[in-house]
Amino acid sequence: MKKGFIVLSIVIVLAVVSGCTQSAAPSQPTATITMQTSVLPTSTTNMPAQTTNLVSENTVRINDFTFEPATITVNAGSIVRWVNGDTVLHRIQFDDEHFSPILLGSSQSGSQIFVEPGVYPYICIIHPEMRGTIIVV
């Protein structure tokens, strides 16, 4: 019986040792995926993204509950950008129903493209004393 116990112990030890000496399966190569992302500034826009020099030249700033300048003249096809410098919400609404309102929180900006010549008055719906006009030639 003693001899059987010794043989059984040797078999168990050999089984454990042989199990521990197996080499691990080769690891699979890891694929690295690189994605390019971009962060857009917080803004409201009624037009597709475009690059144009006129955006910076045709900027209306909102400060102290006024549009600066209150009236701006631009060429047809121009983009006008509003930048809210106030700490409150403003909602720009045009008399022309073809334009959607532009809602601007503090430090936000929004743009509108003007294709057809004409006079386009607008107000801030929240603060109706704020009035402006875009003249398109």
Q: What is the CATH number of the domain that holds 77?
A: 2.60.40.420
For the chain, how many structural domains are there in total? 1
Residue 132 lies in a domain: yes
In a domain, 24, yes or no: no
Whole-structure pTM value: 0.59
Is residue 55 a part of any domain in this protein? yes
20 domain residue, yes or no: no
Summarised one tens digit per residue, pLDDT across range 81-108 is: 999 999 999 999 998 888 999 999 999 9
Q: Which of 14-18, 57-61, 64-68 has the lowest mean pLDDT?
A: 14-18
* Better-scored residue on pLDDT, 93 or 53: 93
Q: Give alpha helix (H) positions in the chain.
A: 2-20, 54-57
What is the band of 125 on the pLDDT scale with cuts at 50, 70, 90? very high
Q: Is residue 29 part of a domain?
A: no
Contact in structure between 82 and 105 (CB atoms under 8 Å) = no
- Identify whether 130 is part of a domain: yes
Within a domain: residue 106? yes
- Chain centre to alpha carbon of residue 97: 27
Is residue 15 domain-resident?
Answer: no
Which sign, positive or negative, has the C-alpha torsion 84, 68, 124, 137?
negative
The range of the structural domain enclosing residue 121 comes to 43-136
* 3-class SS shares of the chain: helix, strand, coil, % to 5: 15, 35, 45
